[in-house]
Each structure stands twice: as C-alpha cells, then as structure tokens.
C-alpha cells in the first residue's frame, strides 16, 4: 500500500508542479508519520521516502533512533518550552516556531549540542483562536527579533489554513502566506532570501498549495492511510 500511495503522490506532485510552471524537484514531501509504527516508517524508507514529520515528541523520540535512512526529521507539532531540549536533539527542522521565547530556547540548545537546526515561522493565516501560529501582522517583528537575538536560520514560513473539504477554499490563504514570504524576503529577513521555504499543503489540498508556491508539503493520510489519532505529548 505505501509503495502504491507514494507512487501516486509523486505523480500528483509532478502534475501540480508542471501545471504551475514549476520544477517538481523543488517540492519536498514530508511524510507525516504520527501514529505510524516503526515498521511502517521503514517501509516508506525502503520505497525511497527520506523526509518525515512528527507531531508528538514522546512518540517521535521512541521511533527516530530505530529509523535509519532518514535524511531529515521535521517537528510539526505545537512546541512547549519544556520540550525544547529534546526537540533540538532529535529533529533537523522545527516548522512551528511562533514565539521569541521558543526560538531563544532552541538556539541555546543547538549551541549546547553543537548541531544544525533550521526553523520555519508558523503563520496563523486564518486568525483561528484554537490554532497556534503568529498573526500575519506580527510575523515581521518576530523575524527581526529572532535575527537579532539568535543564530537560528529561519528558512521560511509554515501555515495550516482553516479546514474545508474543498481544496479551493485553501487557495487564498496559501496565496497570502506566499505573498507574505516574498515581502519578507525583499526585506532580507530569512537566512537565504533567494531560496525561501513555504511549508503549505496536506493530504487534502497539496496540489493547490503547490500551485500557490509551496516548497514543502506535509502528507500523512494519503501516504499511510487513516490512523486512529490519540492525544500524545
């Protein structure tokens, strides 16, 4: 199943990229492996998948050491201050930074560990109270503070739009974050302003996200199937 799903995903990524006049090689697929067993992750690795994303730290810590062949682990869950040390140790990118306090704590840990860690700024593009992320209006100030007070490379932006069963409803939100990233790049606020990452799009709407400029898509269900989710930390 995983091999077939991965083949279909790659074909859909290629089609969406070509329709948008983009190079499919510029799109990174992060396999969201929450609630997926070590064996399931290993099967995806055997099929050529090398980037994975985890939402829950406790679950990730138990799996990551047993999954060889992964080139990058992305933390894509809400990050609490008391989890920063382990996240810095086990992950290569944190996609969900939305507070200066968290950025400073991550920076301290990566210096102690002497390792590289990249971050994305999570944008709450829909202004939803139940979601993490900084507002579009406050994001520039956060970027400037992180640049002044840390050495963390801010590679770009991440967002989760308001849920809708219609992928087209996500389009204006993705477009808004893309335009925001372009504005910030013009102001030299990223670590590489010529190669800004945009983590946008999940199983239900990633083709639309690619059309609007996503460079990273986060796909779980379309790859691993439906999982019975439970609360984990």
Could you tell me how many residues make up the chain? Answer: 233
Q: Which residue has the tokens 């995806």?
A: 44
The torsion angle over the Cα atoms of residues 120, 68, 4 and 203, rounded to 10 degrees, is -20
Q: What is the dihedral of CA 139, 140, 143, 149, to 10 degrees?
A: -110
Structural contact between residues 215 and 198, judged by C-beta atoms closer than 8 angstroms: yes
pLDDT of the residue at 232: 39
Q: What pLDDT was estimated at residue 226?
A: 86
Helix (H, G, I), strand (E, B) or coil at 100: helix
pLDDT at res. 233: 40
pLDDT of residue 230: 47
* Tokens read off for 146: 């992180």
User: Residue 29 corresponds to which tokens in the numbers above?
Assistant: 């697929």
What pLDDT shows up at residue 228? 53
**233 residues of the chain, pLDDT tens digit each:** 999 999 999 999 999 999 999 999 999 999 999 999 999 999 999 999 999 999 999 999 999 999 999 999 999 999 999 999 999 999 999 999 999 999 999 999 999 999 999 999 999 999 999 999 999 999 999 999 999 999 999 999 999 999 999 999 999 999 999 999 999 999 999 999 999 999 999 999 999 999 999 999 999 999 999 865 444 34
The secondary structure element, H or E, covering residue 28 is strand 28-32
Please say whether the beta carbons of 106 and 80 come within 8 A. no
What pLDDT is attached to residue 222? 96
pTM for the whole thing? 0.95
C-alpha–C-alpha distance, residues 206 and 176, integer Å: 16
Domain range list for the chain: 2-224
CATH class of domain segment(s) 2-224: alpha beta
């Amino acid at each position: 199943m995983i091999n077939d799903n991965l083949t279909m995903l790659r074909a859909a990524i290629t089609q969406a990229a070509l329709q948008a006049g983009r190079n499919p090689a510029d799109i990174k697929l992060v396999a969201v492996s929450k609630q997926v067993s070590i064996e399931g992750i290993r099967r995806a690795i055997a099929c050529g998948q090398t980037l994975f994303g985890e939402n829950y730290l406790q679950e990730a810590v138990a799996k990551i050491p047993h999954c060889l062949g992964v080139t990058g682990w992305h933390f894509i869950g809400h990050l609490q201050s008391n989890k920063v040390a382990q996240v810095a140790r086990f992950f290569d990118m944190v996609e969900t930074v939305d507070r200066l306090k968290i950025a400073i704590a991550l920076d301290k840990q990566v210096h102690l560990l002497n390792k590289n860690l990249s971050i994305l700024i999570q944008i709450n593009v829909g202004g939803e109270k139940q979601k993490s992320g900084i507002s579009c209006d406050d994001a520039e100030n956060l970027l400037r503070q992180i640049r002044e007070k840390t050495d963390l490379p801010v590679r770009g932006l991440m967002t989760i739009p308001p849920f809708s069963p219609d992928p087209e409803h996500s389009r204006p939100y993705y477009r808004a974050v893309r335009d925001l990233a372009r504005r910030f790049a013009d102001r030299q606020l990223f670590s590489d302003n010529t190669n800004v990452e945009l983590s946008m799009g999940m199983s239900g709407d990633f083709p639309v996200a690619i059309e609007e400029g996503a460079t990273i898509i986060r796909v779980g269900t379309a790859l691993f199937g439906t999982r019975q989710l439970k609360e984990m930390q």
